[in-house]
Amino acid sequence: MSGSKKLMKQYIKATLNILHRFIELVARFIFKLTYGTTGQKMPPIKDLILLESVTSVAYKIRTRKVSSVQVLNSFIERIKEINPLLNCVVANRFEEALKEAQAADELIRSGTISENDLALNKPFLGVPFTTKDCIAVKGMIHTSGLYCRQKIIAAEDADVIMRLRNVGAIPLALTNVSELCMWWESANVLHGRTCNPYDTNRIVGGSSGGEGCIQAAVGSTFGIGSDIGGSIRMPAFFNGIFGHKPSEGIISQKGQYPTPVSQIQQRMLGIGPMCRRAKDILPIFKVIVDKSAVDKLRLDDKTEITNIKIYYQDCDLNCTMVSHINPDIRHLFTKINTHFCKAHKIVPQKVAISRFRNSVGMWMAGMTPDDGPRFGEQLTNLNGSINVSLELLKCLFRVSKHTFIAIVTTILDRFSPKPGDSKHMYMVKETKILQRELSELMGDDGVLILPTHPTSAPYHNEPIIKPLNFIYTGIVNVLEFPATHCPLGLDSHGLPIGVQVVANNYNDRLCFAVAEELERAFGGWVPPTVDV
């Protein structure tokens, strides 16, 4: 590229960023006037069992300190209490779940299986959990937020659900998602939008937003989400919980809809746990991971925090039209560095990865199908394609069965670089170079700590003004690395913030170890309201 062209490109980028920043500020002022300061208060948490960790609940059930039926009733009552305000649950199976809880209690009382054997073979016996409405649960709706799929009922469990059932866990409800799981606010025409338990005027993220919400509001012991651009980690960030996007190819995607339409998308997509306690991630992960991947994951290896090398980048990714990192979030890195220095004599090393500037282009290249259906076709459940002009007109009069952002995404998808185009090939090449660069940096004993998102939860609909902010998580997907979001308290507005811990492929255990360390140091999940 000649000097004059490079200079012009830099000028255009700077101009776009200044314009975007101005629009952001004006929009934030308007949203603040529209919504006011804070939304409605969530009902306080009154039942102590709701605050227990997953492993604690499981232990108390199998040792008969509490019954599975009691636990289920507590969470059912909690869902009934919070859902009218938060709209996180879109379908439930309360009656069936209670019958399964009774069967679990009877098995425990019978004594036919020893307590040790239960802990080993059915570690989650009688424990209720939830999952997002794109992961199949037999006999329940399986819509992925699509209006045209409202009558589709799952004929069988997704593999991850089946694996959890096999160890005694009980599916309790399905949670809300964005339309076709492709936007970072969980709202759709079929089920409406979900509200943040810390401030109902704010978003919960997407696409596993309903799941992030119900975990933060203690309506479930744990949840299962999926992540192709941050769909586990962004809701975990906005709702102040832990969420893990796994290494590529280690957890079955069977029963997840929409299915990836290319091999690259399949490697970008990950199904993983969402929960309030860091120590619960590993036992859930061990259940849902493919048995063929167990050896290379070395999940039972003892991981000493002092043996982990810490790298971090606390500055912006330098992408065009992506928000700057909020000062409250940037300050987290100072706190993290201070902790590791004082507690473990570890000096985290600051890095500045220049290739992050192409993150948006890399993710878009990864999402471009070689020969599969386009986004507009997927919106019809692969029954033709939507008429964009007609849907925009219907959207104007609020009669469209699709969200505005889904329609816009269809338009943008048509103009995305096609496989084989010079720009697409360049981004694929850049992805491989960055993947190799970070892999060499982290090695087998290092993690990279990054912002999960540049700001705390925005107001409803505000993501339309800053659609590319998802890229802080999306870049990790296209690089195919595992990453865990770790909550680190609340910002100056009382909203959750945190960071994501990234490791080399198959080094998920390092993410878990750092997550547990950060939870010990800074407290982890902060309950929205407690009254016990």
pLDDT tens digits for range 204-221: 999 999 999 999 999 999
Give me the catalytic one of 207, 208, 323, 456.
Answer: 207
In a domain, 395, yes or no: no
Mean pLDDT of 2-17: 86
In a domain, 256, yes or no: yes
Q: Look at residue 372 in the predicted model and tell me its pLDDT.
A: 82
Instruction: Please check the confidence at residue 512 and state whether its pLDDT lies above 90.
Output: yes
Same domain? 22 vs 149: no
Same domain? 181 vs 295: yes
- Per-residue pLDDT tens over the stretch 241-258: 999 999 999 999 999 999
In a domain, 107, yes or no: yes
Instruction: Check residues 369 and 82 and name the one with the higher pLDDT.
Output: 82
Average pLDDT, whole number, for the chain?
96
Per DSSP, which regions of 341-385 are E strands? Answer: 349-350
In a domain, 428, yes or no: yes
- Per-residue pLDDT tens over the stretch 193-204: 999 999 999 999
- Residues 119 and 126: their CA atoms lie apart, in Å, by 12
Instruction: Please check the confidence at residue 491 and state whether its pLDDT lies above 90.
Output: yes
- Per-residue pLDDT tens over the stretch 370-404: 788 999 999 999 999 999 999 999 999 999 999 99
Contact 172, 140 (CB under 8 A): no
- Residues 128 and 46: their CA atoms lie apart, in Å, by 19
In a domain, 400, yes or no: no
Contact 224, 131 (CB under 8 A): yes
Beta-carbon count within 10 A of 213 CB: 33
Beta-carbon count within 10 A of 448 CB: 23
Give me the catalytic one of 122, 132, 245, 401.
Answer: 132
Mean pLDDT of 265-288: 98
Q: Which domain holds residue 451?
A: 38-368+416-522
Same domain? 452 vs 502: yes
Same domain? 23 vs 81: no
pLDDT band, very low/low/confident/very high, at 36 (cuts 50, 70, 90): confident
Give me the catalytic one of 74, 144, 186, 231.
Answer: 231
In a domain, 102, yes or no: yes
| pTM, entire model | 0.97
Same domain? 154 vs 14: no
- Residues 268 and 366: their CA atoms lie apart, in Å, by 8
Same domain? 337 vs 486: yes
Same domain? 262 vs 181: yes
Same domain? 161 vs 198: yes
Same domain? 175 vs 210: yes
Query: Active-site residue 394, yes or no?
Result: no
Structure-block tokens of residue 519 = 């939870």
In a domain, 531, yes or no: no
- Residues 168 and 471: their CA atoms lie apart, in Å, by 37
- Residues 22 and 13: their CA atoms lie apart, in Å, by 14
Same domain? 29 vs 45: no
Percent of the chain beyond pLDDT 90? 93
Residue tagged 């697409």 (tokens): 424
- Per-residue pLDDT tens over the stretch 45-99: 999 999 999 999 999 999 999 999 999 999 999 999 999 999 999 999 999 999 9
- Facing residues of 500 across strands? 450, 485
Q: What is the CATH number of the domain that holds 302?
A: 3.90.1300.10
- Per-residue pLDDT tens over the stretch 395-435: 999 999 999 999 999 999 888 878 889 999 999 999 999 99
Per DSSP, which regions of 83-169 are E strands? Answer: 89-92, 128-132
Same domain? 30 vs 153: no
Instruction: Please check the confidence at residue 532 and state whether its pLDDT lies above 80.
Output: no
Q: Look at residue 8 in the predicted model and tell me its pLDDT.
A: 87
In a domain, 271, yes or no: yes
Q: Look at residue 9 in the predicted model and tell me its pLDDT.
A: 85
Residue tagged 């960071």 (tokens): 499
pLDDT band, very low/low/confident/very high, at 38 (cuts 50, 70, 90): confident
Instruction: Please check the confidence at residue 336 and state whether its pLDDT lies above 60.
Output: yes
| Least confident range of 8-12, 287-291, 325-329, 507-511 | 8-12
pLDDT band, very low/low/confident/very high, at 2 (cuts 50, 70, 90): low
Query: Active-site residue 335, yes or no?
Result: no
Structure-block tokens of residue 178 = 């964005």
Mean pLDDT of 211-237: 98
Query: Active-site residue 132, yes or no?
Result: yes
- Per-residue pLDDT tens over the stretch 137-187: 999 999 999 999 999 999 999 999 999 999 999 999 999 999 999 999 999
Instruction: Please check the confidence at residue 1 and state whether its pLDDT lies above 70.
Output: no
Q: How many structural domains does the chain have?
A: 2
Same domain? 14 vs 120: no
